[in-house]
């Protein structure tokens, strides 16, 4: 029974699992978006929310605690200076990880993928989108016939979707051969 055994093992030793999750959380804070398997995303979300809670505290002990966990010094600074203020008003549910509409599958192992993304303060993403469209409008008026700089930047930010490969047909199973019933030996005569 797994009573009081928290978390997923992810088929790794605890050293490997800890390093994997530290890498995932560090890259989530660095790029503000990661794409990984469902189980890894759920585990990384738990740790990322803990790190954000420490960053919201903002004292020296919290900064040292986060610095021991996150691999990169610049990511720690970004977490405390940029990311923590986004979540100042929220008390929980900091990282909803979005399942893709029909979940795309990993190319090799065919496992379902999940996207973990930073959810900043209300309107942060919309303000960025409005600024990009304003830049695109300015660029289209200047350069006619060419792609606008804003459009190129938007295309560069947008992740490319891989085409789903069709699944190969399953091989047909051969019919099972019936076993002959085993012959039972007659009982031994008693003496």
For position 107, which CATH number holds? 3.90.1030.10
Q: How many Cα atoms occupy the beta-carbon half-sphere of 1 within 13 Å?
A: 2
Is 180 part of a structural domain of the chain? no
In terms of Cβ atoms closer than 10 Å to its own Cβ (0-12, 13-18, 19+), residue 26 is buried
pLDDT computed for residue 183 by the predictor? 75
Is 154 part of a structural domain of the chain? no
Our count of domains for the chain comes to 1
Is 110 part of a structural domain of the chain? yes
Is 112 part of a structural domain of the chain? yes
pLDDT computed for residue 51 by the predictor? 94
Is 8 part of a structural domain of the chain? no
Report the DSSP pairing between strands 33-37 and 97-99. Answer: unpaired
Is 26 part of a structural domain of the chain? yes
Measured CA to CA, the distance from residue 79 to residue 56 in angstroms comes to 9
Domain of residue 39 covers: 14-120
Query: Radius of gyration (Cα) for the chain, nearest Å?
Result: 27
Q: pLDDT tens, position by position, for the chain (191 residues)? A: 889 888 899 999 999 999 999 999 999 999 988 888 889 999 999 999 999 999 999 999 999 999 999 999 999 999 999 999 988 888 876 666 666 566 677 777 778 887 777 765 444 544 444 444 444 455 445 444 455 555 666 666 666 666 666 777 777 777 667 676 677 777 788 77
Is 168 part of a structural domain of the chain? no
Alpha-carbon distances of 48 from 65, 104, 150, rounded to whole Å: 13, 24, 31
Model confidence pTM above 0.85: no
Is 184 part of a structural domain of the chain? no
The per-residue pLDDT for range 153-190, each reduced to its tens digit, is 666 666 666 666 677 777 777 766 767 667 777 778 87
């Amino acid at each position: 029974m797994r009573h009081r055994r928290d978390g997923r093992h992810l088929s790794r030793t605890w050293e490997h699992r800890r390093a994997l999750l530290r890498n995932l959380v560090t890259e989530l804070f660095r790029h503000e978006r990661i794409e990984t398997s469902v189980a890894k995303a759920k585990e990384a979300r738990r740790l990322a929310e803990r790190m954000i809670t420490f960053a919201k505290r903002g004292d020296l002990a919290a900064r040292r605690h986060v610095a021991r966990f996150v691999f990169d010094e610049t990511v720690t600074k970004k977490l405390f200076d940029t990311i923590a203020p986004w979540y100042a008003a929220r008390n929980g549910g900091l990282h909803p990880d979005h399942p893709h509409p029909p979940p795309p599958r990993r190319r090799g192992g065919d496992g379902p993928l999940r996207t973990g993304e930073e959810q900043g303060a209300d309107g942060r993403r919309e303000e960025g989108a409005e600024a990009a469209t304003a830049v695109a409008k300015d660029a289209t008026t200047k350069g006619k016939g060419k792609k606008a700089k804003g459009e190129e930047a938007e295309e560069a930010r947008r992740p490319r979707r891989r085409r789903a490969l069709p699944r190969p047909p399953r091989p047909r199973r051969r019919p099972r051969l019936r076993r002959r019933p085993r012959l039972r030996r007659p009982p031994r005569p008693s003496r």
